[in-house]
A and B are shown apart, each in its own frame.
Chain A
Amino acid sequence: MANSNLPRRIIKETQRLLSEPAPGISASPSEDNMRYFNVMILGPTQSPYEGLGSWRSPSTSSCGVVETGGVFKLELFLPEEYPMAAPKVRFLTKIYHPNIDKLGRICLDILKDKWSPALQIRTVLLSIQALLSAPNPDDPLSENIAKHWKTKEAEAVETAKEWTRLYASGA
């Protein structure tokens, strides 16, 4: 297994992700491939992707979050060249967003030409979380969703909320 000669950077990043997770983000490596991470991102508040239930109440346990929605699953893979090359990240949860296509691929510059080896798994996931707060229909990956967003934004946001309810329930 390639895990035996895992670069020290990946081990450290993993340890830090587990010991000090970023708010609303969890990432844990797969047992049989330490370069493959199961990721969960909570939809940011004030966005169409936020959880819709009682999870924001301080008295609610984190289990409540998972049951009420706004939880997006992603997969993240660190290629052999990482960190000289960007991680490969994809949404597994269906999401209605102009910069994310139906296969879950993400249009985000830091995952492409703006990648820098100073970025990390944590910063990549925070950027994706930020992308949920700030959809950019001017640089679309899903033409139809982008068009919808630009012509009837309120309606597109409603669809995004509906999809969040339907698919991002965390169940």
Chain B
Amino acid sequence: MGLSWSNSRRRTTTFYHPHPPPPPPLPPYYYHPGEAVSLLPRHRIKITTPPYNNHQQPPHHHHNLTLILHTLHLQPNVGFTSALPIQLDPAPFVDHQNAKRIRNDVNVHKDTLKVEIDVSNPDHFLVSFVFDALFHGSITIFYFAKEEPDGRFVPAFPEAHLPVKISFQKGLGQRFCQPSGTGMDLGFFELDDLSKSSPEEDVFPLVIVAETNLPDDLTDEHFDSMPNTLRHRQITQAVFEKKNGDNFNVRVIRQILWVAGVRYELREIYGIGSSAAEGFDDSDPGKECVICMTEPKDTAVLPCRHMCMCSECANELRLQSNKCPICRQPIEQLIGIKINSGDQRG
């Protein structure tokens, strides 16, 4: 997978980055293309770290949701800043900053991930899951794989199992089933080793690398501005757990996204599933701001990632308690998140 990180990174920096100074502490965002279509109320947006990308890409698919993010500035409030010297640190971002979107071309639905016994090869287990892909690509299954500093994965025990790479065609909501005979004899390992990552968190018992080929559909307008080296990779790191009997459960520990040579860790935003992605009628207690109970919630709190307020109440709260209404953790940052389906955007 010797992708040309350096190429794409250079390209990204010069081409996309609207702010020449160092990266703003604002995490970029990401969403699942497939879920956006099929599961509007359940789609997830994830915060990613490290936060130093600043993509702006046009909507790539007219059925998909587009995600527009702007920051609500926390800084420029004179009385407040003077009271809290820490706030005087110059803000690298301002109110209503440009939308930040990270498109993910390939996505493994982590809640569909399973292992099942290979019927024609008992003792061996096969991985299956549902995924979305906007382009053709491939999926590679690793058992006990180590993440190298450059983002590549290498098997920690190559003598026991070599990675299995399978190509896929583009499409949403596809089911991936590892071919019979390529599975892993999980009984070979101690349960203890299967159920956790290495102490450094660089070796996981199960690693799924989903990546797209180079985009071949260059007629799409948004590729005009996209270097060909852009290849998306989503990595799912998981452990095996045994609940009862012989059935293994897969628990996803982390998902990583590589876009244009930048590594993001994906985090979920709590409460976004019930945000006003599809209409807002002012009577659904799940979609409204918890403070005014009137406006749709469109603002998430960092670092706790509770999406629970409208922007106006969020700004108001900053001046009051400055604690997350849901968990009471101090608010470090507010992130405005607007979700519209692409064909409704004004």
Contacts and interface: CB of A to CB of B under 8 A. Distances in A.
Contacts of A13: 293
B320 interface: yes
A116 B328 CA distance: 7
B317 A9 contact: no
B326 A116 contact: yes
Given A116-B323, A116-B326, A118-B325, A84 B292 contact: no
Main secondary structure of the interface of B (DSSP, over half): loop
B316 A7 contact: no
A23 interface: no
A99 B258 CA distance: 55
B294 A84 contact: no
Main secondary structure of the interface of A (DSSP, over half): loop
A9 B293 contact: yes
Given A84-B321, A116-B323, A118-B308, A9 B328 contact: no
A152 interface: no
A12 B308 contact: no
Interface string B302-329: 0000001000010011001101011010
Nearest to B326: A118
A118 B292 contact: no
B328 A84 contact: no
Contacts of A8: 292-294
A117 interface: yes
A64 interface: no
A151 to B, nearest CB: 35
A118 B329 CA distance: 13
A12 B291 CA distance: 12
A7 B316 CA distance: 15
Contacts of B290: 117-118
Interface size class of A (residues with CB under 8 A): 10 to 19
Contact of A83 (B285, B291, B308, B328): B291
Interface in B205-236: none
Most buried by B among A7, A9, A13, A16: A9
Contact of B317 (A7, A12, A16, A84): A84
Contact of B293 (A12, A114, A116): A12
Contacts of B328: 114, 116
B260 to A, nearest CB: 38
A12 B308 CA distance: 17
Given A13-B293, A84-B317, A116-B321, 7 more contacts: A7-B292, A8-B292, A8-B294, A9-B291, A12-B293, A114-B328, A116-B325
Contacts of A116: 321, 323, 325-326, 328
Nearest to A15: B283
A9 B313 CA distance: 12
B316 A12 contact: no
A12 B294 contact: yes
Contacts of A83: 291
Q: Kindly list the 6 A-B residue pairs having the minimum CB-CB distance in the complex, ordered from nearest.
A: A118-B325, A118-B290, A9-B293, A8-B294, A117-B291, A84-B320
Nearest to B283: A12
Interface in B65-88: none
Contacts of B313: 117
Interface in A94-117: 114, 116-117
A100 B285 CA distance: 32
A117 B325 contact: yes
A116 B317 CA distance: 10
15 contacts: A8-B292, A9-B291, A12-B293, A12-B294, A84-B317, A84-B320, A116-B321, A116-B325, A116-B326, A116-B328, A117-B291, A117-B317, A117-B325, A118-B290, A118-B325
